[in-house]
Amino acid sequence: MDATQTLDLNTALDRTVLEHGTRAALAFPAGDGTDALWTYDQLRDKVLRAAAVFRRAGIGRGDRVAILHRNDPAFITAYFGLTRLGAVAVPINFMIQNPEELRYMLDHCGAKGLVTQNDLLPGVRAARTFLPSLASVWTTDMEPAEDAASFWPALAAHGPLPAAAEAQVEPDETVAILYTSGTTGVPKGVMMTHRNLVSNCAAAAERLRMSADDVAMAVLPMFHTFCWTCCVLTPLTLGGKIVIGTQIAPPLPWLEAAGRHGATILAAVPPVWVLLSKNAVLQAAIRERGLFARVRLCISGAAPLSTATHDDMKRAFGLEITEGYGLTETSPVATMNVVGAPRVGSVGLPVSGVAIRLAADGEVEIKGPNVMKGYFQDPEATAAAIDEDGWFKSGDLGSIDEDGALRIHDRKKDMIIVKGLKVFSAQVEKALLTHPDAREAAVIGVPDAAGDERVKAFVVLAEGSAADTAALHRHCRENLDAYKRPREIEVVAELPKNAMKKTLKRLLREREVAKRSAA
């Protein structure tokens, strides 16, 4: 795909259909233990029917429609049905349990409609009471619901949207609003444009050497930009095949699907790679059944990948993991290692069209066509995040190697100051994870009575581990400078995480504050 010629998702899909219409676009569970396949011709037909259904419901250019849904062809169909009208898709984390949080996002974006599933309707009902603008709700389950229209029967009953009714969108129109995970407070709505996404797909495809022959496994949640751009949009713009995994745990079903369809690309977050690199039972199944027979590319993102995990994957399967870096606000890919020559510990070079620089304090700043339009209805936050020259402040601290490769050291807000000295929480976590019994670690700064900070670590031990906090402290003494060592180590059963398995340090800090207030 030529990003200079194709700058909107509607044109991108049409070009793929023109060139690869009879090829398989989506493979997904049929519900009876078998797999279903859609060609690109079939996908486009369903997209145009969805657009007709949305239009009949009064959805038009600029209207926001939420998609609260697990990975499924319905997610893709609804998203592209909305783009045909110039409407804005608002993917929302289906794991949100708090109706108030759901209500906030639906109210903030002024959602006029919502596409969801029956088991998620209770939260929608609780939120909908306070949302007069939410006029239409569709469920994609075959069993009808009293307070939601049935999505698939509606598509079957309507013809495709006429070409004359399609919106002629501009590259810089908002195509989606993605709400941040809220790790720092109230979620912000990141406005993505057609240009953002199409240019990022082209840049990712170039760096990852992707083609129409690739088969991408989409098992990370589609509401998150990592999966959506790398595992859905990029293969789709090339004419590749997308294998849909409905859930990431347990892993064997989607691993078997990857094997059945000859997946060539696997994208995952570090906890998944840790599991695959250490679980002997899964490794045996993968090797015996040849599930990775065609895999040529493993991608990691959303959080730092340890050297040990990279090495373990290489020993177990002979596969290198290519690490990249980006944020929701950057579509997300900003940098990526070169396929076949990963620099372990580095997140690679900027992708085509993207520039990286460091501020005086080491904060990574990013500029390019991938940088968001801004935060929806929040000009102050937008101005704080993007300067007048278009440089986006990432909030990450890093360094740049002599060859221009980026290394991420920590989140700016996670840096700890101990008696005036900087301590990167990521460095302490990395040291802790070299202990054989430490499975996960999270490090925060805890204020002390003198107004300084001290280092505290939370550690999840491997199953059957015999280690204790004394052993972990000894390990830190052997591997860290004195001022970087945790003054307190707490062994916990699990760490609080968001949908992408990223540790929510905000919650750990809040717990510490509450604990000290109660003492």
pLDDT category, 449, cuts 50, 70, 90? low
Per residue in 253-268, pLDDT (tens digit) is 999 999 999 999 999 9
pLDDT at 185: 59
pLDDT category, 95, cuts 50, 70, 90? confident
Mean pLDDT of 8-15: 97
Mean pLDDT of 436-455: 84
pLDDT category, 341, cuts 50, 70, 90? confident
Alpha helices by DSSP H, listed for 24-134, are 40-56, 73-84, 99-109, 121-128
Hey, what are 93's tokens?
């984390």
Distance, in Å, from the CA atom of 466 to the CA atom of 59, rounded to the nearest integer, reads 59
The more confidently predicted of residues 366 and 448 is 366
Residue 265 pairs in a beta bridge with 216, 297
Per residue in 279-297, pLDDT (tens digit) is 999 999 999 999 999 999 9
In this predicted structure, the answer to whether residue 414 has a pLDDT above a threshold of 80 is yes
Range with the poorest average pLDDT among 59-63, 109-113, 378-382, 479-483: 479-483
pLDDT at 5: 59
Mean pLDDT of 129-145: 93
pLDDT at 242: 98
In this predicted structure, the answer to whether residue 317 has a pLDDT above a threshold of 80 is yes
In this predicted structure, the answer to whether residue 4 has a pLDDT above a threshold of 80 is no
pLDDT category, 500, cuts 50, 70, 90? low
User: Going by C-beta distance under 8 Å and a sequence separation of 6 or more, which residues neighbour residue 365?
Assistant: 356, 357, 358, 359, 391, 392, 393, 394
Q: How many Cβ atoms from other residues are within 10 Å of residue 43's Cβ?
A: 23
Q: How many Cβ atoms from other residues are within 10 Å of residue 107's Cβ?
A: 15
In this predicted structure, the answer to whether residue 190 has a pLDDT above a threshold of 90 is yes
Global pTM reads 0.86
Mean pLDDT of 167-174: 96
In this predicted structure, the answer to whether residue 1 has a pLDDT above a threshold of 50 is no
pLDDT at 482: 87
In this structure, whether the domain defined by 415-518 belongs to CATH 3.30.1490.20 is answered with no
Mean pLDDT of 427-450: 87
Distance, in Å, from the CA atom of 75 to the CA atom of 68, rounded to the nearest integer, reads 8
Per residue in 202-223, pLDDT (tens digit) is 999 999 999 999 999 999 999 9
Per residue in 39-56, pLDDT (tens digit) is 999 999 999 999 999 999
HEC readout, 233-244: HHHHHHCCEEEE
The more confidently predicted of residues 33 and 44 is 44
